[in-house]
Amino acid sequence: MSEHILLTIDGPRATITLNNSAVHNRLAPADIKALVGHLDTIESATDIRVLVMTGAGEKTFCSGYDLGSLKPGAASGSQEGGDGRRYSFEVLCDKLEACRVPTIAAIAGACTGGGAAIAACCDLRIGTASTRIGFPIARTLGNCLAPANLSRLVALIGPARTKDMIFTARLADASEALSLGLLNELVPDEDSLQRRATEMAHLIAGHAPLTLETTKEAVRRLRPQLSREEGQELILRAYLSDDFREGIEAFLAKRKPNFRGR
């Protein structure tokens, strides 16, 4: 398991901490594999009733995928077979959304790109005054959200606000995120955040597990989704493009990308 992904269990509450604040809690392939493994553990442990996800430090919840390990043309892992496919970011998000127990994202600082996608997979999200959430890919990478992640965002804030956020490539501050529905609750600071997440976790853990599980699964099934085949066409168009290659090269070189729409 990755040393950057920590699982702790305290009675009925499990906590997963993204523990690599030096690189803004970005997720490398080994981290994604560890997350999938921890979710499998939680799924099979019937005494666990709730999961809290958080990021180490006060500056970043998660800034998404480790771009240094992503090769342009990989289609966000959807083209990988075998072990790579099993531990892709897409599979991680699906497993987190379908996790048997209620999930709470405790978000301090920046929550961007893949990190925002992870937060959207959780059932509840608590932020602090420092929280900023968004998908700035239109100005940074030139790729696209996976259709499943896009549908989760639309389910949270609606189609018009989804397009507004992605088209403007801005990060919503804490108050806007709360008004949009990206956050369920706002607390002042990191200390308050951890206390409130623990309080909410204990409250939820004391409720009827089957009520929570069946409600969660029913809501998941109600969410409209593109078929994998329909979504694959869009993924390939973005991830196999010259623009995505340029986006990654520019990001790693810390320069502004020159997108050309091809």
pLDDT tens-place string over residues 144-189: 999 999 999 999 999 999 999 999 999 999 999 999 999 999 999 9
State in Å, rounded, how far the first CA of the chain is from the last one. 39
- Average pLDDT value for residue range 121-148: 95
Using pLDDT thresholds of 50, 70 and 90, give the confidence band for residue 232. confident
Q: Which residue ranges form the domains of the chain, and what is each CATH number? A: 5-190+206-210 (3.90.226.10)
- Average pLDDT value for residue range 127-138: 96
State whether residue 103 is helix, strand or coil: strand
Q: Are 85 and 50 in contact (CB under 8 A)?
A: no
Q: Is the pLDDT of residue 222 over 60?
A: yes
How far is the C-alpha of 77 from the C-alpha of 81, rounded, in Å? 9
Is the CA virtual torsion 2, 152, 22, 102 positive or negative?
negative
Cβ neighbours of residue 110 under 8 Å, at least 6 residues apart?
Answer: 24, 59, 60, 61, 63, 132, 171
Q: Are 261 and 243 in contact (CB under 8 A)?
A: yes
> Can you state the angle between helices 147-157 and 228-239, rounded to 10 degrees?
100
pLDDT tens-digit series, residues 60-91: 999 998 887 655 444 444 433 334 445 688 89
How far is the C-alpha of 54 from the C-alpha of 160, rounded, in Å? 29
Q: Is the pLDDT of residue 107 over 60?
A: yes
Q: Tell me, what's the pLDDT at 207?
A: 98
- Average pLDDT value for residue range 122-147: 95
How far is the C-alpha of 21 from the C-alpha of 213, rounded, in Å? 32
How far is the C-alpha of 238 from the C-alpha of 143, rounded, in Å? 5
